Amino acid sequence: MARLKAPASRLTAPRPKLAAPATEEGRTAYRRQQSPWRAWYNTSRWQKLRWLVLREAGFICAMCGKAETETKNLVADHIIPHRGDERLFWDRDNLQCLDKHCHDSVKQREERRGGV
């Protein structure tokens, strides 16, 4: 009697998982690669606009009302997320002053829920 051959396997090797960059610099580089508009934050035009927003707000957070003396702890936040829309990104009326805590917690939570 003839021997039967084993059928070819239909299973393929699993795709390697994309490893998240381990360092903050690596994560920043990855985000910039995925979203080219992130480079706009490094322009002098953005730095001037950010300073204008912070100064007009009196360095006071629009959410909690806290005055902040360290400008590195303040964010010029887009009220309506621009998601790469250049018009929304540069629109002065779409910007507000937030302290880093409110921006990184309260505001991000609202955006993930779908609110503005």
Closest CA to 92 of 71, 107, 77, 111: 77
Q: Does 95 map to a domain? A: yes
Q: How far apart are CA 20 and CA 74, in angstroms?
A: 28
Contact by Cβ (8 Å): 102, 73: no
Question: Residue 61: which H helix or E strand, with range?
Answer: none
Closest CA to 19 of 9, 30, 10: 30
Q: Does 108 map to a domain? A: yes
Q: Does 77 map to a domain? A: yes
Closest CA to 50 of 84, 76, 74: 76
Q: Cα 109 vs. chain centroid, distance in angstroms? A: 13
Q: Is the pTM of this model over 0.85?
A: no
- Residue 88: which domain range? 26-113
Q: Does 93 map to a domain? A: yes
Q: How far apart are CA 79 and CA 43, in angstroms?
A: 20
Task: pLDDT tens for the chain, 116 residues: list them.
Answer: 677 777 777 776 666 666 667 788 888 788 778 888 889 999 999 999 999 999 999 999 999 999 999 999 999 999 999 989 999 999 999 999 999 999 999 888 887 777 65
Q: Does 39 map to a domain? A: yes
Q: Does 86 map to a domain? A: yes
Q: How many folded domains does the chain comprise?
A: 1
